[in-house]
Amino acid sequence: MRRRQRMFSPYLDGQVSGVEMHALSRTEECPRCTREYSALQRNATTVGDFWAEESPADLALKLRVAASQQAARIRRPRFQGLLVRVENRSTPS
């Protein structure tokens, strides 16, 4: 019984062999197993519904741009922006 219950989550994730799947098909013989499997299945559905919301199409691009900007800020010397502004003001137009 316990071995079968440990297989419920991998079964719901589609990660069991045919032999294991066949063994799990006899879950109805055990009322406790049936209750636990049903509860796990409801939880998996709830979590699946939570993650089903689609992300914006441009999310990956925005994340890459933000990461690139952060990396550039980290690599830039602390007062480089100030130095560039001072140089721009001091050069004749």
> Given this model, what pLDDT does residue 54 score?
74
CB 64 within 8 A of CB 72: no
> Given this model, what pLDDT does residue 18 score?
84
> Given this model, what pLDDT does residue 41 score?
84
Quick one: CA torsion of 26, 3, 20, 7, rounded to 10 degrees? 100
Q: How many CB atoms lie within 10 A of CB 20?
A: 15
> Given this model, what pLDDT does residue 61 score?
92
CB 39 within 8 A of CB 33: no
pTM of the full predicted structure? 0.44
Q: How many CB atoms lie within 10 A of CB 37?
A: 21
Residue ranges for the chain with pLDDT beneath 70: 1-4, 48-53, 76, 78, 91-93
